[in-house]
Structure formats: structure tokens, C-alpha cells
Structure 1
Amino acid sequence: MQSGSLTSMAGDVSERVSSLTRVIAVASGKGGVGKTNIVANMAMALSRAGKRVLVLDADLGLGNLDVLLGLVPEHTIEHVLAGTHCLDDVIVDGPGGIRVLPASSGVPQLTSLSESQQMMLMEQLEALSRDVDVLLIDTGAGISPNVTFFASAAQDTIVVVSPEPTSLTDAYALIKVLTRQYRERRFKVLVNMAKSPREAAEVFRKIDTAADRFLHVVLEYVGYIPQDDYVPLAVMRQKALLELFPASPAAQALTRLAGQVLQWPEPNFPKSAVQLLWQRLLQTTAVM
């Protein structure tokens, strides 16, 4: 697409849109860092704050957000991409007023969407956008094409890391791919399962130092979620932490994170053609 066309498209969006559906991707370099749990509870906290929240389980071949929340969907995104159902048929109501677009489990062909499947998904999301304030995308772990596609399409990307060295290494790899292949320059970093504020700050310092030195990108520290024995209890009971143990340290930290998200400034126009397309497709239609 020519740069002149992009400029024209951006002008068209600015004239027609008074507010945008905020699109936030939550990603991690490796599994096991609590990313999906963070997404589920942050969604509930945002809903409690009065936002209309849709969660897209974008781990399209190994989705487990529905399992985490004790949901039993009849259909999944696999049926949408196959053309047998629309999103309204698939989306299920979750706890606390959130809505969930569940992924399939054990369907390897969905781990790398074709361009036509990506476009189909975006077009159907557009129809829902006027009823959504925040779209949270729970990406898969790692650096697969789906992960990087959804992360680059979002207005904000939160990279979740834990104090484990492998988590830091893999998170750096994810940031590296998004920087070099998609020209992303800014990332938000959330440290999960930290034993103390000091440990969390040290984890961020390590990845920030490496990213600044070798990738020349800006990392923003958005805080940490403490290690909390109530988290596995909620997972075992297939309930959101905020629902079962709202006074627990991790639940309170997640509520504060949601409050911080509400204070983020409105996103500027996207830095890439992919992001511009998503903004156009996920806009709240103010003028018809």
C-alpha cells in the first residue's frame, strides 16, 4: 500500500471516529507465566469499572481461557473460520459481565491463520465493535505467526514475564521479532509471580537493559502481580480470582492494573498498515 493511501485512510478515520475500541494484546515469550489468568481477571476488573469487555482467546489451537473460567462453549472460533457460524453464535457470557470468544483446543491447523481467515475474523469483529469498549487478546505463547500478528495488530501490547531466566530470554525473543519484522518500538512489560517489588523491578531492569542496548526499543514497566497462593486455588476451582478471592494480593494488584489501563492516553494512529486496518475495522462507529 502506498504511503499516500495510508495518509488518506488515516485522515478518513480521524474525521469519522470519536472513540475507538481499545485493542490490547497480552503476550508472553513462553507458557506458564500466568498470562491467561491475568487476561481473565483484568477483563473482569475492567468490566467492574463500567467497560464493555470482549476477550479473544487467540491461542487458536490450544485455547484454555474457557476452561480457566469454567465455561463450556458449544462452538468456538474454529466454526467462525469454517464459515458455519458467526461470532454472535460463538461468543459466550463470562463472569462479571465479560464476553469471551473461545478458541479451539487441539486443532493444529488453526495455529497459523491464512490471510483470508485473518480478514474474515477482522470483518466479523468490526460488526461487534460498537458494543465493545476494550478488546483483550490473549495470544498464544512464543513467536508463532499468529502471536506476532495479533500483537502487531493491537494498539497496546503487554508482555508478561516471570522471574524465571527462561521467561526473560523468551520474552526478549518475542520483542525482537516484533521489532524487526513489524517495526514495533514500544512495549509494556508486566512482571508476574514476583516475590517482592524489588524482585519485580530487577526482572524488568534486566529485560529493559537488553532491549535498549540491542533493539533500541522503549519498554514501559506497568507493575507486577505478586506470587499468591490464592491463584492456584482459583484455577483449580475454574473461577476468576477476582470472583473467589477479591481481597487477595494478586487480585488487588490486577484491579490496580485495570485502573492503570483506564488512565492510558488514547492511542495515536497506528505505526503500520496492519494496525491501521485494525483501527478501521474495530472502530466504534460514531457517524453513520
Structure 2
Amino acid sequence: MAEPTSDNTTSNPKQSTMRDQADPLRNLVLRQSAAGVDGTQSRMIVIAGGKSGLGVTTLTVNLAVALARHGLRTVLIDADMQHADAALLCGCATSPNLGEVLASRRDIHEVLQRGPGGIQLVPGVAFENSSAACTPKAQQRFLRQLHSLSKHVDVVVVDAGSAPTELARQLWACSDEILLVTSPDVVAVMDSYSAVKTMFAPAATSSRLQLVVNQAEGPAEAADVFRRIDQSCQRFLGVSLELATDLPGDLQAKQAACHGVPVLLLAPQSPLSRSIDHLADSLLAHDEALPEQEIRRVA
């Protein structure tokens, strides 16, 4: 068998209110940083796709909400430099954002804002030329700030998008968990293999690489998609994957996006919400390194 191949910020009427609400959080984090408060390092979950349109941002937003509902202090970082839609799906302001951090105009703590379901959000920004906007110096500064932020939260969930940028590679390398989103589509399967080949360096990371099969008709189809990608990765790259979960197609996800509300909050009993909540349970149950605390639901 041959080796697979693949071929302006917006205004929001809630913006000033959200900034006012976020001020206490930013001030607290800044005070803790200045005082040298040291905490247990958080876990970092990076979510990415082999190509756009696979539901990476939807999963990122709703998984962050699910983890927050378990009582974890959760920060969502939108590092997708092609689309940067997380703020819109959360119904949040799109500025200030990660672009200002990369340009050294603001500290990462200064762009934090309150998101839905108890999460904190660093909005992203799309760049026409991501290489020019995200220089090696800007990347290292951002990663250092991300590291400092993680001292004050339990879990950081990152939308790394689908573009093979150098920043995305750095995020893959320093993560604890990588959730690679694909679909049963043949092109998506090939692009997922290509993403692992291009982005994942086993010698440079101890990240746990897992596959999420979106829009699967059921566990059997998801298992078949996983088998094809995993076999190719093992044969040609010497990399093994795990199957995290399959996610069903759900019309309510589109409705939630139109309303700027995570589907897990708009329709918590929908098939997609249940699947994402189950994924959060699985991640918490598997990783004993996460902070031990009572698993509880946030009312």
C-alpha cells in the first residue's frame, strides 16, 4: 500500500459590559503574577483538524464549557489564524485579542474576557500572512505567557485550527492532549494523516494523540475511519493514535452558532452535547495528573 497523500474585528453591543466583567479576573491574575504565586501546572488540550470545516471550533468551545461545568477553571485560547471564530460562537467581543499579544501591544492577561458557561476566553484573529504576524520572537513570547497563565487555571483548551503554521506546531509540541478532528470524508481522512505527518513529532513531545470523528453515522463508521488513519500512521510514521470519540451531526449546533451560544448550553440534551460531555468525562477519568477535585456540575 502506498503512503496516503492529500491534495477586522467586529463590534458587539455587549463589548463594554464584557470588558467590565473581565476586569476583576485580569486584575487578579496580574496581582498573582506580580506576587510570584506558584500553582500546579494546568493541562493543555490542543484541538486541530487536517482541513477547515470539520467542526474544530465547535468542539473546542463546547469542550471548554463541558470542562468548566465539571468545576475546572478553564481558559479557551483561539489560536486559529485562518478563521478565529471562537469569540463569535461564544457571543463574545472579538477585541482585544491574541493578535495584540503577538504584536506585543498587550499581555495575555489583558485580553482575557469572560465567556459562556464559566470559561475565560482569549479571542483570536485571522491573518492574511500568519508568518509575518507570528514571528519566532512573537511565538516564544506568547508561549511564555501561555505558560504563566496556566499557573492560575486547571485546564487550557486551544483551538489550533487546520493550517500547518509554526505556532500550531509549537502548540502541538507543548500540549498534554491533542484531539485531531476528522470526518468520514475521504479527503478529510487523507488530510488527517497529512496533519500527523507534518505536525506531530513524537521525539519532541509526550502528547497523547487522539482522533475525534465528527459527523459519523455511528461508532462502527467512526471505528473504521480510525482504523484507516491509525494503520497508515503506524505503518509510515511509527505513530499510534487513540480513538477519543465520535460526534454525531446535529442541526442544533448550527442554531447555537447563529445565536452565539455553545450548543452544550442551548441544547444540553442534544446528541452532540451528550457526546462532548462524555468526552470531557473520559479526559478527566484518564488523566490522573489533572487537579483532584470533586466532580460537580455548575448550576
TM superposition score normalised by structure 2: 0.78
Equivalent pairs: percent with the same residue? 31
Conservation of the 8 A alpha-carbon contact between 2:39 and 2:151:
no
Which one of the candidate residues 275, 291, 297 is aligned to 1:253?
275
Letter in 1 for 2:280: A
Secondary structure at the residue paired with 2:246?
strand
Listed one character per residue, the Cα deviations across residues 3-55 of structure 1 (whole Å, up to 9, x for unaligned) are: xxxxxxxxxxxxxx984210111111100000100010000000000000011
Alignment match, 2:297: none
Alignment match, 2:65: 44
The count of corresponding residues between Structure 1 and Structure 2 is 252
Which one of the candidate residues 174, 178, 203 is aligned to 2:195?
174
Listed one character per residue, the Cα deviations across residues 244-271 of structure 1 (whole Å, up to 9, x for unaligned) are: 000000000000000111112346xxxx
- d(CA) in 2 for partners of 1:61 and 1:223? 26
Within 5 Å, give how 1:57-68 maps onto structure 2: 57-68=78-89
Which one of the candidate residues 201, 212, 216 is aligned to 2:238?
216
Q: CA RMSD in A?
A: 2.2
Which one of the candidate residues 151, 155, 171 is aligned to 1:130?
151
Using a 3 Å threshold, how does the CA distance of structure 1 residues 202 and 30 change in structure 2: closer, same or farther? same
- d(CA) in 1 for partners of 2:174 and 2:189? 23
**Does 1:93 pair with 2:114?**
yes
Conservation of the 8 A alpha-carbon contact between 2:113 and 2:120:
yes
Letter in 2 for 1:138: D
Using a 3 Å threshold, how does the CA distance of structure 1 residues 260 and 239 change in structure 2: closer, same or farther? same
Secondary structure at the residue paired with 1:218?
coil
Which one of the candidate residues 250, 255, 265 is aligned to 1:243?
265
- d(CA) in 2 for partners of 1:96 and 1:210? 39
Alignment match, 2:35: none
Listed one character per residue, the Cα deviations across residues 220-240 of structure 1 (whole Å, up to 9, x for unaligned) are: 111111111211111122210
Letter in 1 for 2:239: V
Deviation at 1:92, TM superposition (A): 1.1
Which one of the candidate residues 176, 182, 186 is aligned to 1:161?
182
- d(CA) in 1 for partners of 2:79 and 2:132? 9
TM superposition score normalised by structure 1: 0.81
- d(CA) in 2 for partners of 1:147 and 1:168? 20
